């Protein structure tokens, strides 16, 4: 376990999956990150790479050749190397090897950087193409935040704050796959979305093209909150695994699940990113707690 600390935060991470496992705010004396209790969901904040969401039949094609990946790819289950470690910063790295090439036929260097800045955890993704050809990929975050945050509140005491009035139209799924339809989560555009288990009972809420790409989890019963800022991400998912699960995931994505139908060429997959040889893709998001 790796520990980062500054005057405001204590953050823990692990080399398996380069995963955040704890965000403790000294002022509130609260841990904001889910504890990975397998009764509900045995992860904290996995990295989604090189795909986001579910592939039809766990299959995609590269120039007609079939490859197979589980939902959200392989990075979350791989051991990363720590290439930089300071008191308040850690950089993890995963480089393509014989094992990754069996399921993803590209050479890449993936770095995940965590930096503490006051009451914020700044997370940066870097994907470098070290191949001789163009590569295709998706990448995303999947952090789970404790809801409720305090013992004297309940799940339904919380709401999502989008910081702007949004249409809140969710892309719909048939099982794990997009079906091409959308549904308004609220009848009228709104800034706030109350959290209920019924709201998330049958699907992940998936929003595309939000105005600000900022979402906070708040309650009117106390001043504690967690805010995610994820500029330029194409999609964001909101998920909890079922009734009584005491957490909510806010998931910024560059990429999305397959649509209903047949497996596709990776280059044709919805939301896919492409990168020329020697080029580097960068993206970042911030978790702020109070």
Q: Say if CB 12 and CB 1 are below 8 A apart.
A: yes
Q: Which residues contact 17 (CB under 8 A, 6 or more apart)?
A: 46, 47, 75, 76, 77, 78, 80
pTM: 0.96
What residue numbers bound the domain in which 114 lies? 2-289
Residues 206, 178: Cα–Cα separation, whole Å: 10
Per-residue pLDDT of the chain (290 residues; tens, 9 = 90+): 999 999 999 999 999 999 999 999 999 999 999 999 999 999 999 999 999 999 999 999 999 999 999 999 999 999 999 999 999 999 999 999 999 999 999 999 999 999 999 999 999 999 999 999 999 999 999 999 999 999 999 999 999 999 999 999 999 999 999 999 999 999 999 999 999 999 998 779 999 999 999 999 999 999 999 999 999 999 999 999 988 999 999 999 999 999 999 999 999 999 999 999 999 999 999 999 99
What HEC string does 112-149 produce? EEEEEECCEEEEEEEEEECCCCCEEECEEECCEEECCC
Q: What CATH number does the domain containing 25 carry? A: 2.70.98.10
Residue 80: which of 127, 15, 140 has the closest Cα?
A: 15
Which of 75, 92, 84 has the alpha carbon at shortest distance from 138? Answer: 75
- How far is C-alpha 196 from the chain's CA centre? 21
Q: Count the domains in the chain.
A: 1
């Amino acid at each position: 376990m790796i520990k980062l600390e500054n005057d405001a935060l204590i953050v823990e991470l692990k080399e398996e999956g380069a995963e955040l496992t704890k965000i403790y705010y000294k002022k509130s004396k609260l841990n904001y990150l889910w504890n990975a209790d397998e009764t509900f969901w045995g992860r904290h904040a996995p990295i989604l790479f090189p795909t986001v969401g579910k592939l039809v039949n766990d299959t995609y094609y590269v120039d007609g050749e079939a490859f197979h990946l589980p939902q959200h790819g392989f990075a979350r289950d791989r051991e990363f190397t720590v290439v930089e470690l300071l008191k308040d910063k850690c950089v993890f790295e995963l480089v393509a090897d014989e094992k990754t090439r069996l399921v993803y036929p590209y050479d890449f260097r993936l770095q995940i950087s965590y930096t503490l800045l006051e009451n914020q955890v700044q997370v940066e993704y870097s994907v470098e193409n070290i191949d001789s050809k163009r590569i295709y990929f998706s990448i995303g975050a999947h952090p789970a935040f404790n809801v409720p945050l305090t013992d004297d509140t309940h799940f339904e005491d919380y709401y999502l704050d989008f910081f702007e009035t949004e249409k809140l139209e969710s892309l719909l799924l048939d099982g794990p796959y997009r079906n091409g339809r959308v549904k308004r989560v609220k009848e009228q555009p709104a800034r706030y979305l109350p959290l209920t288990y019924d709201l998330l009972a049958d699907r992940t809420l998936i929003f595309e093209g939000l105005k600000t790409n900022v979402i906070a989890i708040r309650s009117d019963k106390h001043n504690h909150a967690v805010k995610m800022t994820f500029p330029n991400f194409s999609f964001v998912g909101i998920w909890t695994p079922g009734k009584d699960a005491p957490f909510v995931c806010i998931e910024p994505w560059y990429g999305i699940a397959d649509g209903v139908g047949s497996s596709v060429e990776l280059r044709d997959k919805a939301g896919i990113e492409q990168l020329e040889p020697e080029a580097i893709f960068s993206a970042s998001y911030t978790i702020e707690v109070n």
